[in-house]
């Protein structure tokens, strides 16, 4: 049996890592097809190295661009590779353009698609990711739902129960491994000059936030006001897209901000674990902060991770300055100890069990 993984961004590498690792453990042949949607080493190659993953077998060198440009470059290149490989299953994860292109081409070639993290919905049609995840679900034979809520969403939308599998979230598996590796690193105080629980960690990258001066500027101002009030520096690993927009809009980061270059995953998780508060627009960071026991404020209108809100780990404030400040003030001293809604850390193993058993017709597994 030959398996193919189509991926192209940091979150996909991280969340498919436990599934790839399980294929390695069981000696199941596979190929990694990297679209190179993220093309800088900080957003890409370093994650393969730190997670001890084999290099990609195929690199499509798609690079950046609009949704249409990226899909247009991915589609024929994926057709060529998948036609040559003829895998029996194609894995995709999440909601990126790589996910959509991978699911479209695999489905077009008659190859079953396994969608890791199926069933997530923000119900915010401004987000291109919402369309990608919905289309990927409709193209998939294996709907690998990370939570009971995601499973119920799929059932409510009419997907057949025979295609839906409750697996847990692979981010728990990844964090367990990364936390072990990260314990060998220098402390945050030695690396960045900040003490435990004495800073705010900020990430911003969503196009609906950073591509508009009228949205991005008030978010920065809100974080500055909060940082100044509580005397907590705002550590800000700046995404390449956000860096470009800050320059275009002429936005200078306030003195309360500590600008960092894009971080490798081990370093980022280390900063997450020690933060007093996380302010983000990232879906994956919402999950990670919840699992790590760090209060989170999400500067978006809606979230596709409602479980984080329900357990009290996360507050979705919207994008207005006053609402962000008020929400952050509520969360900054939030007591931790909420339950982890994302599973037991065995999602990778469970996913491979499910796919292998169905693909082999119940015969003995590797």
DSSP 320-343: -HHHHHHHHHHHTT-------TT-
Regarding whether 97 and 202 lie in a shared domain, the answer is no
Percent of the chain with pLDDT over 70: 95
Both 7 and 103 in one domain: the answer is yes
Band of residue 50 on the pLDDT scale cut at 50, 70, 90: confident
| 120 shares its domain with 236 | no
Give the list of residues 6+ apart from residue 44 with CB closer than 8 angstroms, or none: 10, 13, 34, 36, 38
Task: Tell me, yes or no, whether 9 and 59 share the same domain.
Answer: yes
Residues 201, 298 within the same domain? yes
Q: Is residue 182 part of a domain?
A: no
The CATH number of the domain holding residue 289 is 3.40.50.2000
DSSP string, 263-281: PPHHHHHHHHHH-SEEEE-
Assigned domain for 154 exists? yes
> Is residue 57 a part of any domain in this protein?
yes
Residue 342 CA: distances (Å) to CA of 204, 215, 346: 23, 31, 10
Residues 19 and 72 in one domain: yes
Q: Is residue 176 part of a domain?
A: no
Residue 365 included in any domain: no
Residues 8 and 107 in one domain: yes
Q: Give the CA dihedral 208, 214, 216, 218, nearest 10 degrees.
A: -130
Q: Which residues have a catalytic role annotated?
A: 205
pLDDT band at 125 (very low <50, low <70, confident <90, very high): confident
Q: What percent of the chain has pLDDT over 90?
A: 82
Where in the sequence is the domain holding 158, given as residue range(s)? 3-169+343-359
Predicted confidence band of residue 265 (pLDDT cuts 50, 70, 90):
confident
Q: Does pLDDT of 42 surpass 70?
A: no
pLDDT, tens digit, 9 for 90 and up, residues 192-218: 999 999 999 999 999 999 999 999 999
Residues 216 and 322 in one domain: yes
322 and 351, same structural domain?
no
The total number of structural domains that make up the chain: 2
d(CA 106, CA 99): 11
Q: Do 14 and 157 share a structural domain?
A: yes
Query: For residues 255 and 52, which has the higher predicted lDDT (pLDDT)?
Result: 255
Q: Is 30 within a domain?
A: yes
pLDDT of residue 294: 97
- Residue 234 within any structural domain of the chain: yes
123 shares its domain with 257: no
Q: Are residues 118 and 200 in the same domain?
A: no
Q: Find tokens 């730190």 and name the residue.
A: 50
Taking all residues of the chain, what is their mean pLDDT, rounded to a whole number? 93
Inside any domain, residue 175 = no
Which H helix or E strand runs over 116?
Answer: strand 113-116
């Amino acid at each position: 049996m030959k398996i193919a993984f189509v991926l192209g961004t940091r979150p996909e590498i991280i969340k498919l890592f436990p599934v790839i690792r399980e294929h390695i453990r069981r000696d199941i042949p596979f190929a990694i097809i990297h679209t190179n949607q993220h093309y800088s080493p900080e957003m890409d190659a370093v994650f393969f190295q730190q997670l001890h993953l084999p290099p990609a077998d195929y690199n499509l060198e798609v690079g950046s661009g609009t949704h249409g440009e990226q899909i247009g470059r991915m589609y024929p290149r994926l057709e060529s590779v998948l036609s040559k490989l003829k895998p029996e299953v194609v894995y995709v994860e999440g909601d990126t353009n790589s996910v959509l292109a991978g699911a479209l081409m695999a489905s077009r070639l008659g190859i079953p698609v396994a969608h890791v993290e199926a069933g997530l919905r923000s119900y915010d049609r401004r987000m291109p990711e919402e369309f990608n995840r919905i289309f990927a679900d409709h193209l998939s034979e294996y709907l690998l739902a990370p939570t009971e809520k995601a499973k119920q969403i799929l059932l409510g939308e009419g997907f057949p129960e025979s295609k839906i599998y409750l697996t847990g979230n692979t981010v728990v598996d990844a964090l367990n491994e990364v936390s072990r590796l990260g314990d060998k690193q220098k402390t945050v105080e030695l690396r960045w000059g900040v003490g435990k629980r004495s800073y705010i960690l900020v990430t911003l990258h969503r196009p609906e936030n950073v591509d508009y001066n009228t949205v991005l500027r008030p978010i920065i101002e809100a974080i500055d006001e909060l940082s100044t009030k509580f005397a907590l520096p705002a550590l800000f690993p700046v995404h390449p897209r956000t860096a470009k927009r800050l320059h275009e809009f002429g936005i200078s980061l306030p003195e309360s901000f500590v600008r960092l270059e894009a971080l490798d995953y081990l370093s980022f998780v280390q900063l997450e674990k020690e933060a007093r508060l996380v302010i983000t627009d990232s879906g994956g960071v919402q999950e990670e902060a919840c699992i790590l026991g760090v209060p989170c404020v999400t500067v978006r209108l809606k979230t596709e991770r409602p479980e984080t809100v329900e357990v009290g780990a996360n507050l979705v404030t919207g994008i207005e300055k006053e609402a962000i400040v008020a929400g952050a003030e509520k969360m900054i001293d939030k007591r931790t100890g909420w339950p982890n809604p994302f599973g037991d850390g065995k999602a990778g193993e469970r996913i491979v069990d499910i796919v292998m058993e169905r693909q082999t017709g119940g015969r003995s597994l590797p």
